[in-house]
């Protein structure tokens, strides 16, 4: 009949039509089953809406409880304003909706939140509340002469030794200052650390402890079963009628915090391709299922990786970085790389064994704690400091978290002139040393920035707005220590970036030069070198036949060489 009836739509999942064409409003009076209603789009008022899933802040949870989640509905200007990983306070009204099965309503209901307003948490680590008394306590601790030793001892006190490793983890917790440049570029402030080690050297325990004491700490595994993995993923959401939505991974959830990633060498291929951008630019760009988004991953990465063959081989032509299943360009993104080997040393082994046994005696039965028959040792600690099993004073986890949050929120140090000059001198002097071969590079600009970040972190620990010479010397000492433990005095950055030792790269150059020389002397129309002649020439450089065969096989795979007439002839392609 052409009559228009207005019907308010109470929800997003069902279009409600009029029951009848009311005669009171001038309609024909026919019932819904007797006629057909057509939506008048031009006369309708359309509003934007979006399904949003909110998750409880994991920092407020204790005892491994899973955070609660709730599906929210945002309308008007709220729709489209949030990205996965954003921290917000939402105000709204709860309502229930019956689950449907077979086209019928059931007595099982889902709870939703209709959002009326949103408040972004713009202050870093705002969720950690610090009282005035606690602020005074933090400032008193910062003035102590032994603050660095106190913090280092407080990191995983149940793990014996590893003083230098714990010192670097201390700097990672505080991090440097991220800076925005006039040209729009950004310099990251977070410090990335890789722990490469034999099984059983407490890598996983270190990661677990760090994720618990760091504000916004996230612990995950490279073998994560989550669809979002380490970075982020587009997934189909049943609550949103099967539409594609973004699910944040561990790095996005750890924004402004720390991501501890165990089994880093076993992550899936999708995460591998995203990690370069996530660690250096600290963003993740997604273009999947019609979704284009850029998510922030401004977090420090603490990763642990195991060797491919069970244990590291110290005496080998293969560098340590090539003995794990990680691409050299990804390894080079880390500011500090520790090599943790399990070598037999009688005195040290005895101390470790005694430490482990004593630590078991200090613990309380987990079953009794869960039953309420015994007090939880983690909750009966004082609010500030406690004693370790060795009798040393250490900080409690809660105080460490508040100390870090206060420092990151309030302290933004800059390098003074003396500190800047010392970093430049260190960089230039280290570059001068060069390496054993022409393509060896002892230090790069990326390492220079890492030293500056560590110096700023050192200043943050004592709540200073100026990073001085002492801070830089601490950063340089740590840099020299991990480089020396990884490769010795002849540190070669090219080895990390290429995954090949300098001697192996030199042999490959000699092999290519030899093949080209033999090709130039060949009388054949198609120039090639004979394998026997190559063997004879390479013996002059003390390279045996098996190594020559291995190099030729690798270069054929890489497309540098080819075998034009079978096994015995070699030809260069580049």
CATH number of the domain to which 296 belongs: 3.40.50.300
Answer with the residue of higher pLDDT: 195 or 22: 195
CA distance 109 to 95: 10
Domain co-membership, 192 together with 338:
yes
Answer with the residue of higher pLDDT: 289 or 73: 73
CA distance 196 to 345: 20
Answer with the residue of higher pLDDT: 299 or 97: 299
Domain co-membership, 325 together with 230:
yes
- H-run or E-run covering 49: strand 49-55
Q: 329, 344, 359: which is the final residue of a domain? A: 344
CA distance 322 to 341: 16
pLDDT for the residue 495? 73
Domain co-membership, 190 together with 336:
yes
Domain count, the chain: 4
Answer with the residue of higher pLDDT: 268 or 90: 90
- Judge whether residue 172 has pLDDT over 90: yes
Q: Determine, yes or no, domain membership for 38.
A: no
Q: Determine, yes or no, domain membership for 13.
A: no
Q: What is the CA radius of gyration of the chain?
A: 31
Q: Determine, yes or no, domain membership for 219.
A: yes
Domain of 423: which CATH number? 1.10.8
Least confident of 96-105, 194-203, 276-285, 286-295: 286-295
The boundaries of the domain holding residue 95 are 49-120
Global pTM?
A: 0.76
Q: 344, 375, 396: which is the final residue of a domain? A: 344
Domain co-membership, 423 together with 469:
yes
- Judge whether residue 86 has pLDDT over 60: yes
Q: Determine, yes or no, domain membership for 271.
A: yes
Confidence of residue 387 (pLDDT cuts 50, 70, 90): low
Domain co-membership, 492 together with 507:
no
pLDDT for the residue 175? 94
Q: What is the pLDDT of residues 330-340, one digit of tens each?
A: 888 999 999 88
What is the distance in angstroms between the CA of the first residue and the CA of the last residue of the chain? 80
Domain co-membership, 297 together with 339:
yes
Domain co-membership, 485 together with 526:
no
Domain co-membership, 311 together with 270:
yes
- H-run or E-run covering 145: none
Closest C-alpha to 389, from 357, 418, 416, 365: 357
Q: Determine, yes or no, domain membership for 151.
A: no
Answer with the residue of higher pLDDT: 260 or 230: 260
CA distance 125 to 144: 25
Q: What is the pLDDT of residues 336-355, one digit of tens each?
A: 999 888 776 677 778 777 77
Backbone phi and psi for residue 524, each to the nearest 5 degrees, phi listed first:
-75, 155
CA geometry: angle 536, 542, 545, nearest 5 deg: 55
Domain co-membership, 449 together with 526:
no
CA distance 80 to 76: 9
Closest C-alpha to 88, from 74, 101, 105: 74
Domain co-membership, 424 together with 511:
no
Domain of 76: which CATH number? 2.40.50.140
- H-run or E-run covering 124: none
Confidence of residue 571 (pLDDT cuts 50, 70, 90): confident
Q: Are 9 and 49 in contact (CB under 8 A)?
A: no
Q: Are 449 and 179 in contact (CB under 8 A)?
A: no
Q: What is the pLDDT of residues 213-229, one digit of tens each?
A: 998 888 888 776 454 67
Domain co-membership, 328 together with 442:
no
Supply the mean pLDDT for the chain.
82
CA distance 546 to 276: 36
Domain co-membership, 225 together with 338:
yes
Q: Determine, yes or no, domain membership for 356.
A: no
Q: Determine, yes or no, domain membership for 19.
A: no
Q: Determine, yes or no, domain membership for 422.
A: yes
Q: 120, 148, 171: which is the final residue of a domain? A: 120
pLDDT for the residue 225? 46
Q: Classify residue 96 by burial, with Cβ atoms within 10 Å: 0-12, 13-18, 19+.
A: exposed
CA distance 337 to 320: 11
Q: How far lies 153's CA from each of 166, 167, 409, 511, 536, in Å?
A: 8, 9, 24, 51, 58
Domain of 508: which CATH number? 1.10.10.10
């Amino acid at each position: 009949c052409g009559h228009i009836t207005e019907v308010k739509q109470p929800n997003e999942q069902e279009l409600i039509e009029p029951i009848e064409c009311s005669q009171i409003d001038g309609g024909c009076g026919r019932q819904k089953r007797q006629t057909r209603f057509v939506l008048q789009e031009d006369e309708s008022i359309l509003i934007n809406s979006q399904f949003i899933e909110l998750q409880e802040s994991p920092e407020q949870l204790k005892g491994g409880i899973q955070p609660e989640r709730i599906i929210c509905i945002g309308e008007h200007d709220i729709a489209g304003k949030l990205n996965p990983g954003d921290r917000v306070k939402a105000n709204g009204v709860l309502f229930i909706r019956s689950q449907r099965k077979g086209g019928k309503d059931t007595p099982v209901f889902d709870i939703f939140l209709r959002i009326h307003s949103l408040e972004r948490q713009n202050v870093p680590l705002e969720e950690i509340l610090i009282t005035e008394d606690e602020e005074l306590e933090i400032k008193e601790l910062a003035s102590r002469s032994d603050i660095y030793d106190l913090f280092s001892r407080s990191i995983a006190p149940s793990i014996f030794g590893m003083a230098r490793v714990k010192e670097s983890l201390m700097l990672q917790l505080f991090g440097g200052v991220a800076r925005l440049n006039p040209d729009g570029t950004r310099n990251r402030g977070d410090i990335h650390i890789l722990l490469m080690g034999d099984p059983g050297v407490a890598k996983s325990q270190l990661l677990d402890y760090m994720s618990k004491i760091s504000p916004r700490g996230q612990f995950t595994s490279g073998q994560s079963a989550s669809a979002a993995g380490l970075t982020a993923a587009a997934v189909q959401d049943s609550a949103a009628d099967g539409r594609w939505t973004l699910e944040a991974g561990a790095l996005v959830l750890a924004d402004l915090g720390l991501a501890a990633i165990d089994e880093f060498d076993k992550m899936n291929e999708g995460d591998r391709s995203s990690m370069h951008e996530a660690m250096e630019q600290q963003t993740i760009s997604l273009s999947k299922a019609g979704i284009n988004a850029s998510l922030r991953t401004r977090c420090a990465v603490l990763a642990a990786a195991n060797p491919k063959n069970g244990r590291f081989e110290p005496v080998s032509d293969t560098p340590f970085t090539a003995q794990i299943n990680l691409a050299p360009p990804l390894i080079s993104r880390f500011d500090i790389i520790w090599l943790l080997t399990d070598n037999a040393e009688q005195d040290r082994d005895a101390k470790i064994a005694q430490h482990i046994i004593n630590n078991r005696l200090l613990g309380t039965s987990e079953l009794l704690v869960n039953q309420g028959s015994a007090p939880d040792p983690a909750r009966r600690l004082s609010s500030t400091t406690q004693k370790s099993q060795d009798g040393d004073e250490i900080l409690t986890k809660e105080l460490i978290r508040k100390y870090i949050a206060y420092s990151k929120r309030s302290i933004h140090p800059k390098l003074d002139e003396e500190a800047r000059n010392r970093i430049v001198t260190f960089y230039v002097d280290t570059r001068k040393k060069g390496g054993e071969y022409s393509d060896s590079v002892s230090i790069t600009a990326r390492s220079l920035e890492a030293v500056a970040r560590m110096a700023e972190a050192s200043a943050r620990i004592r709540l200073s707005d100026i990073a001085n010479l002492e801070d830089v010397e601490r950063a340089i000492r740590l840099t020299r220590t991990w480089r020396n433990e990884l490769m010795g005095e002849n540190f070669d950055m090219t080895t990390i970036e290429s995954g090949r030792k300098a001697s192996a790269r030199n042999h490959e150059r000699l092999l290519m030069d030899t093949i080209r020389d033999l090709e130039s002397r060949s009388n054949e129309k198609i120039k090639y070198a004979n394998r026997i002649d190559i063997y004879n020439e390479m013996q002059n450089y003390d390279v045996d036949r098996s190594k020559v065969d291995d190099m030729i096989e690798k270069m054929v795979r890489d497309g540098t060489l080819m075998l034009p007439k079978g096994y015995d002839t070699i030809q260069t392609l580049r």
